[in-house]
Amino acid sequence: MPASGHARRLAHLGWRANGDGFDVALAVNRLLAANGRAWWLAQKRDAAEAGDYLVEVSPEQQAAFARIGVAVEPWHVGIPDDASPLACPAVQLFAGTASKYPYYAYYALCLLRLGIDYVPCDGASLAHDALAAANLLILPGGFATWGIDAAEDAPGADARVRSFLANGGAAIGSCGGAFYLSAGRPGWTGTACAKPLYTHEYLQSGVGVVTIALREGPLALGCPPTMDVPYYHGPIYDLLGDGSDVAATFHAFALPGRLAIDNPLDRERFDREMKGKPAILIADGARGRAVLFSPHPEMGDLIRRYIALDGYVRHYLPIRGAQTMRDTLRHYRVTDAPSFRLVLNAVHALLRDDGSHRLAASSDASSVGERANTALDIAPVEMCRHALAALPDFGTGEEADLFRDIAAGIAARLERATPRLSAVIAVAHRRGRLAPSWRHLSTTMPRHSLTADATLAQRLMEVDLGVSLIECWTRTAEMDRALESQ
């Protein structure tokens, strides 16, 4: 970002003033990516709420935020003593064969919506130098449960991850990634001194939407006391060793799910084995620092929407009618899912720049661009168009009409996003930081194919995921373009 001709001043970037939308996170993280400075507020201060930000911005940057719809206000007092300076995330997202598309893509969607760029990695790259320029490793759901060396035939990957964590790096894991960061099986990092109830035979829990209760602490900043989150066989903890704190517990059963995996969690098992048990752990000890999510905050309203379509909507359609169910489905916030705030807070909590942890420099944009052998393309757009065209006939009746409405809405969003993507893709290639994620999406999305017996809800979910990735990547690139012009 070119140097501004005007001095930067402190400003308040607040959630309430911006409708609690995730453009707030987008703005602060792209400012950090452009070598800006930001602080995270742990307590209410004057007009600021806990979880808001103070940012250093020039008048030109403030105007750029305004053009993209983000409001900031002047801050005329000093930086509070308990405000945390934030480091720019330098993220490696595990996306190998043990966490292939769409497993890694839920985190890609969440990170891009939060304005956090990432570089994809697999077992082989982890075994070499992938973590050298990183300060955060993100481990999605999938099969890291077996250890990365074993799951990807990548000798040395587990040792490199352990070394990264022992030397100041941090990690976030969901479900399979949380298993990997737990203790009790060979290959796991033991970052959290806690063994899940089910380790190898993890399918004994189930699938659904659960409500978690947040405890006071950094992950709860700006969040309500409880939150609904998708759950897919995540670790169930009982006894905890030293260095692990509970950030949230399982509170209530919301919905059973059959989406993608026909193994619904039921209320009786939830009440017997999960209620009151840890749902989120924060680990900090000799084996590193990490946040472990048993459920999937990164899946958010996307998965919740299609779990509901596959069960709740079908059940209540004859009771409340098509219009009520249409409104229910229309108002899920796929790209502004409330649970994304948990991931954002986890990133901030792990990367508070207090000088006590190693924080790697961010990737050099020019070198990333020089390593690219091909121009960024629009293969994901064509993949989504093909997937929409390949949907089976919906048939007749109210349920078929709901499916048809959903598909039409996804198609309309894709066509609105495509010209916006075309307008920013060259800028993103030149800047470099966003290029690795798009290049990886362009390579992996078209290779993915659904199983022959995939349900219509699953087909719709995956094309919705693809379009949402395009929308969120484009929005992040638009923010970069706005800041670059200043």
Report d(CA 49, CA 69) in Å as an integer: 20
* pLDDT in the model for residue 428: 75
Backbone angles phi, psi at 59, to 5 degrees: -55, -35
Backbone angles phi, psi at 56, to 5 degrees: -95, 120
Cβ-contact 135, 358 below 8 angstroms = yes
Q: Same domain, yes or no, for 208 and 124?
A: yes
Residue 67 within a domain: yes
Q: Same domain, yes or no, for 145 and 66?
A: no
Helix (H) or strand (E) segment spanning residue 248:
strand 244-256
Q: Same domain, yes or no, for 53 and 96?
A: no
Residue 322 within a domain: no
Q: Same domain, yes or no, for 120 and 254?
A: yes
Domain that includes residue 157, residue range: 91-299+339-350
Q: Same domain, yes or no, for 388 and 404?
A: yes
Residue 161 within a domain: yes
Classify residue 355 as exposed, middle or buried by CB count within 10 Å of its CB (0-12, 13-18, 19+): exposed
Classify residue 310 as exposed, middle or buried by CB count within 10 Å of its CB (0-12, 13-18, 19+): buried
Q: Same domain, yes or no, for 33 and 122?
A: no
Cβ-contact 412, 463 below 8 angstroms = no
Residue 305 within a domain: no
Tell which of 53, 68, 85 closes a domain.
Answer: 85
Q: Same domain, yes or no, for 150 and 170?
A: yes
User: Into how many domains does the chain fold?
Assistant: 3
Tell which of 308, 326, 350 closes a domain.
Answer: 350
What pTM does this model have? 0.94
Report d(CA 87, CA 36) in Å as an integer: 10
Q: Same domain, yes or no, for 159 and 187?
A: yes
**pLDDT tens track, the chain, 486 positions:** 444 446 889 999 999 999 999 999 999 999 999 999 999 999 998 889 999 999 999 999 999 999 999 999 999 989 999 999 999 999 999 999 999 999 999 999 999 999 999 999 999 999 999 999 999 999 999 988 889 999 999 999 999 999 999 999 999 999 999 999 999 999 999 999 999 999 889 899 999 999 999 999 999 999 999 999 999 999 999 999 999 999 999 999 999 999 999 999 999 999 999 999 999 999 999 999 999 999 999 999 999 999 999 899 999 999 999 999 999 999 999 999 999 999 999 999 999 875 544 444 444 433 333 344 345 688 999 999 999 999 999 999 999 999 999 999 999 999 999 999 999 998 777 667 999 999 999 999 988 888 778 999 999 999 999 999 999 999 999 999 998 866
Cβ-contact 398, 317 below 8 angstroms = yes
Q: Same domain, yes or no, for 103 and 23?
A: no
Residue 359 within a domain: no
Q: What CATH number should be reported for the domain holding residue 98? A: 3.40.50.880
DSSP code at position 3: P
Backbone angles phi, psi at 366, to 5 degrees: -65, -40
Residue 463 within a domain: yes
For residue 9, how many other CB atoms are within 10 A of its CB? Answer: 14
Report d(CA 37, CA 85) in Å as an integer: 8
Report d(CA 466, CA 384) in Å as an integer: 6
> Two tokens at 310?
């596959």
Using alpha carbons only, give the angle 434, 437, 440 rounded to the nearest 5 degrees. 145
* pLDDT in the model for residue 6: 61
Residue 267 within a domain: yes
Residue 180 within a domain: yes
Q: Same domain, yes or no, for 345 and 376?
A: no
Q: Same domain, yes or no, for 51 and 108?
A: no
280 Ramachandran zone, left/alpha/beta (phi>0; psi -120 to 50): beta
Three-state SS at 288: strand
Q: Same domain, yes or no, for 251 and 105?
A: yes
Q: What CATH number should be reported for the domain holding residue 19? A: 3.30.70
